[in-house]
Amino acid sequence: MRRLSCVMLIVWLSACSAVTPTPAATSPDQFAEERERMVSDQIIPRDVTDPIVLQAMRRVPRHEFVLPEYLDQSYEDHPLPIGYGQTISQPFIVAYMSENCELKPGDRVLEIGTGSGYQAAILADMGLEVYSIEIVPELAAKAEARLKRLGYAAQVRAGDGYYGWPEAAPFDAIIVTAAPDHVPQPLIEQLKPGGRLVIPIGPVGAIQTLWQFTAEEDDQLTARNLGDVRFVPFTRSAQTP
């Protein structure tokens, strides 16, 4: 069993702001401009530099992954509700977590918390082999259909992400988009040596810490603090002890 050791590197992340829905009417050309502005104004200034991540953020149409009433806020720097008590993360957080997975095309990645499918689409656009688990069956079904319609190759499963996807393991990286109060041991065990787990950890309804854990060859797990964040809670199946 891998044990944890920490190397601290604090990075500032912006807090999530409250969102008020407004009517939307935007053309596809304007969306392209907004995507470019999102990358140039929100993401690059915060030191996200991986060209593969930046290109994916420029290409993936985030407006396809939000509810109609929030369409005009698709490329603003905050999360948005997607129903069932869940959100689509702010663009910077998506880019920042993707970069800290430290992946290259062809790598295998597991996402816990499919939500609308936007993070999975970014990972797929990066040329990765994507597996994604969503606890809410309705969201899983909608995300799977949306990703297929838009042409993003990602395998989606409805289920309890705490246990990962053992038959597809090991993974080069695992990215968790909801906050548990501890590191799930099954996810640690599904990392390849040298693989990374990017996960927020902390109490419900409070500021959490985003961590990058790296699985070492000697079964140790080193940790890097990526800064303060606020995510929705990590939800478990009702029958889970």
Q: Which domains does the chain carry?
A: 3-20+27-229 (3.40.50.150)
- Per residue in 227-240, pLDDT (tens digit) is 999 999 898 876 44
pLDDT-based confidence at residue 5 (cuts at 50, 70, 90): very low
Please say if 89 is a catalytic residue.
Answer: yes
Cα–Cα distances in angstroms (integers) from residue 27 to residues 38, 72, 99, 154, in the given order:
16, 10, 30, 27
pLDDT class of 187 with cuts at 50, 70, 90: very high
**Confidence at residue 24, expressed as pLDDT on a 0 to 100 scale:** 42
Residue 34 has pLDDT above 70, yes or no: yes
Residue 86 is predicted with a pLDDT of 93
Q: What is the pLDDT of residue 206?
A: 84
Residue 217 is predicted with a pLDDT of 81
Maximum Cα–Cα distance across the chain: 55
Sheet containing 3-7, strands listed edge to edge, beginning at the edge strand earlier in sequence: 3-7, 220-229, 208-215, 191-201, 171-176, 108-112, 129-134, 154-158
Among 1-15, 81-95, 210-224, the range scoring the smallest mean pLDDT is 1-15
Phi, psi of 16 (to 5 degrees): -75, 140
DSSP 3-state percent helix, strand, coil across the chain (nearest 5): 35, 25, 40
Beta-bridged to residue 208, according to DSSP, are 229
Note the pLDDT tens digit of each residue in 131-160.
Answer: 999 999 999 999 999 999 999 999 999 999
Nearest partner of 228 among 159, 195, 179, 191, judged by Cα:
179
Q: Using alpha carbons only, how large is the chain's radius of gyration in Å? A: 17
Active-site option among 74, 89, 98, 116: 89
Distance CA 140, CA 120 (A): 12
**CB–CB of 206/181 below 8 Å?**
no
Distance CA 113, CA 233 (A): 10
User: What pLDDT digit, counting tens, does each position of 192-219 carry?
Assistant: 999 999 999 998 878 999 999 999 887 7
Question: What percent of the chain shows pLDDT beyond 90?
Answer: 79
Tens-digit pLDDT profile for residues 39-91? 999 999 999 999 999 999 999 999 999 999 999 999 999 999 999 999 999 99
E strand segments, 144-207: 154-158, 171-176, 191-201
The predicted pLDDT at position 48 comes to 97
